[in-house]
Amino acid sequence: MPQKPTDWLVALHARHLERRGRLAQLRAYKQHGSTSVYAHSVDVASLALKLARRLPFKVDEDALVRGALLHDYFLYDWHVPDPERPMHGFYHPKAALKNADRDFALTDRERDIIRHHMFPLTLSPPRTLEGAIVCVADKLCAIKETFRRR
């Protein structure tokens, strides 16, 4: 069943990214357990927004949501081994950024979110507050998805 974004800002950006790019393709790929990459990305964007609204700092909500929706825009099934592809955990932020840069006019903040979301696995940390928030939200969602499948 398609994931329904709960927050209007997430819904607005998801609709735009689906119409203008390939975000809808993320529905076809599984992330953890039965959760699709699309549902995971919407969950990360929604949680990142909730976390951001609790912080006493000014956050660029549009960049936060767009970056979160595109952070796993790598557009392949990572469960299918491909000898041509480097290890998924390290490689997919680069693949996601390349695809997103091809399809959309990204801001530096959005690029930072995508490029650094796997920190600390990839050694380079996020440079922006938005990047740090998505990095945390991604891990919390991954833990929830992993335990949900048991």
Cα–Cα distance measured from residue 94 to residue 1, given in angstroms and rounded to the nearest whole number: 29
* Piece of the chain touching Fe ion by CB under 5 A; list 6-14, 50-58, 98-106, 132-140: 132-140
What is each CA distance from 121 to 1, 18, 54, 125, in whole angstroms?
Answer: 32, 29, 26, 10
Locate tokens 């949501």: which residue?
Answer: 65
State how far the Cα of 65 lies from the Cα of 101, in Å rounded to an integer: 16
Nearer to Fe ion among residue 72 and residue 130 (C-beta): 72
Q: Mask of contacts with Fe ion, 4-43, x by CB under 5 A?
A: ----------------------------------------
Contact flags string 51-80 toward Fe ion, x per CB under 5 A: ---------------------x--------
Task: Indicate the DSSP class of residue 30.
Answer: B
Contacts with Fe ion by CB under 5 A lie at 72, 138
